[in-house]
Amino acid sequence: MSTDTTLPPDDVALCHQIIRQLQQRIEQLERENAELKARLNQNSTNSSKPPSSDPPSVKRAPPKQPTGKKRGGQHGHEAHHRALVPPEKVSESFEIRPEVCRCCGAVLMGDDPDPWQHQVAELPPIEPTVVEYRLHRLICPNLARRPAANFLPAYRAVLSDHDSRPC
C-alpha cells in the first residue's frame, strides 16, 4: 500500500477553483444575510415605514417636554432674508403711502427716503399651445379617389384605410 497523498496537478487546480467558487458564494450569502437582518430590524422610527406597520413590540418615544420657547426664530438669531430682485427686472412697481396715522388719525404727508420694499413673484398662468393640422383630401384625376395628405407616418393608422392608400 502506497502512502503518497499528493494529487495530480489537474485535480489540484480543480480543487482551488471549487474553493474560490465556494468562498465567493459564502461572501454573497453573508452580504444577503446582513441585508435581510437590516430589513428585519426596520420600523417606523428608523425607516420610512408608517407607524401602523410596526409590530406591538416597538416602543414609542415619549412626547417631548415643552422648552418654554415660542415657535420660530428666537431672539438674537441670525436673520435669513431673500435677496431683492434688481429694479431693472421688476415688472411693476407701486408706491403705497399711508394717508392717516393708525394711532391718532392725523393726516400724513411727505416722502420716505428709504421705504420698506416687499416683492411678490407671481408665476403667469400656464396655457397649452394648441396646434391644428388640417389634412386635405383632394380627388385624384386618375383613380377618382380622395387620398389624404401625408401628415406623418405615425398617423397613417389613424386615417382610414381607403384615404391613406397612395395613388
Per-residue pLDDT of the chain (167 residues; tens, 9 = 90+): 555 667 777 788 888 999 999 999 999 999 999 999 888 878 787 888 888 888 787 777 788 888 888 888 888 888 888 899 999 999 999 998 989 988 898 999 888 899 999 999 999 899 998 877 777 777 777 777 766 666 664 455 555 444 545 55
Determine, yes or no, domain membership for 99.
Answer: no
> What pLDDT sits at residue 137?
75
Determine the 3-state secondary structure of 69 from DSSP: coil
* Region label for 67, one of left (φ > 0), alpha (ψ between -120 and 50) or beta (otherwise): alpha
* Region label for 124, one of left (φ > 0), alpha (ψ between -120 and 50) or beta (otherwise): beta
State which residues form the domain around 139: 134-167
C-alpha cell belonging to residue 134: 388640417
Q: How far apart are CA 110 and CA 92, in angstroms?
A: 23
Inter-residue contact 143 to 167 (CB < 8 Å): yes
Phi and psi at residue 111, in whole multiples of 5°?
Answer: -135, 140
Determine, yes or no, domain membership for 98.
Answer: no
Q: How far apart are CA 106 and CA 100, in angstroms?
A: 5
> What pLDDT sits at residue 12?
83
Determine, yes or no, domain membership for 19.
Answer: yes
Determine, yes or no, domain membership for 42.
Answer: yes
Determine, yes or no, domain membership for 129.
Answer: no
> What pLDDT sits at residue 23?
96
Determine, yes or no, domain membership for 90.
Answer: no
> What pLDDT sits at residue 154?
42
- pTM (whole model) above 0.95: no
Q: How many domains does the chain have?
A: 2
Q: How far apart are CA 71 and CA 73, in angstroms?
A: 7
* Region label for 143, one of left (φ > 0), alpha (ψ between -120 and 50) or beta (otherwise): alpha
Determine, yes or no, domain membership for 78.
Answer: no
* Region label for 76, one of left (φ > 0), alpha (ψ between -120 and 50) or beta (otherwise): left
Distant-in-sequence, close-in-space partners of 101: CB < 8 Å, separation ≥ 6? 108
